[in-house]
Amino acid sequence: MKRIVIIAAVFMMALTATVNAEDLPLESYISGFDYAARKEMKIDSKALVKGITEGKIQLIDIRFKEEFEAWRMGAATSIPLNELPARLNELQKDKIIVTACPHKDRAIIAMTYLRTKGFNSKYLTDGLIGLAENLRGDRAKDFIHAIKK
């Protein structure tokens, strides 16, 4: 019995090490930050729309639940910033994760956190307000038709 407990403990430690192997300490992320990293962490609404229609991007709306319920973007998944650490399993590792809020303040926090967890993440530079402005009229119609294909 003692041997089984020890084997289980070793297995759990190995599993924990594997899960956390992709984590990047915030200090390392900041120490490696340069002009290329600054450019790489951003995406505007036009590039976002293109990436979503191509199936390369997962848009995460990190506003509070009530904000999302008041108005939402059809292509976004709602994961409030304060729930993000507990809901990482909902993110698609094979896609670029774009975080968004009305302006960009919370989106930058979420993007930074996701990068320290090994995700290819960007934040929406013009925010959800800019995205809403971009998706008007025919552009909205074309976008919705493209993502429903």
**Residue 83 has what pLDDT?**
98
Question: What is the percentage of the chain residues whose pLDDT exceeds 70?
Answer: 85
Tokens encoding 4: 């089984």
The per-residue pLDDT for 28 is 87
If we measure between CA atoms, which residue out of 100, 95, 97 comes closest to residue 125?
Answer: 100
Q: Is the pLDDT of residue 13 over 60?
A: no
What pLDDT is stored for residue 113 in this prediction?
96
Q: What are phi and psi of 96, to 5 degrees?
A: -75, 130
**How far, in Å, CA of 22 to CA of 115, rounded?**
10
For the chain, which residues make up each domain, given as ranges?
A: 24-148
Q: Residue 24: its pLDDT value, please?
A: 83
What is the pLDDT of the chain when averaged over all its residues? 86
Instruction: For residue range 104-138, list pLDDT tens digits in order.
Output: 999 999 999 999 999 999 999 999 999 999 999 99
- Which DSSP letter does residue 40 get? H
- DSSP string computed for 66-131: HHHHHS--TTEEE--GGGGGGGGGGS-TTSEEEEE-SSSHHHHHHHHHHHHTT--EEEETTHHHHH
- pLDDT band at 41; cut points 50, 70, 90: very high
For domain 24-148, give the CATH number.
Answer: 3.40.250.10
Phi and psi torsions of 46, nearest 5°: -65, -45
pLDDT band at 22 (very low <50, low <70, confident <90, very high): low
Kindly report the length of the chain. Answer: 149
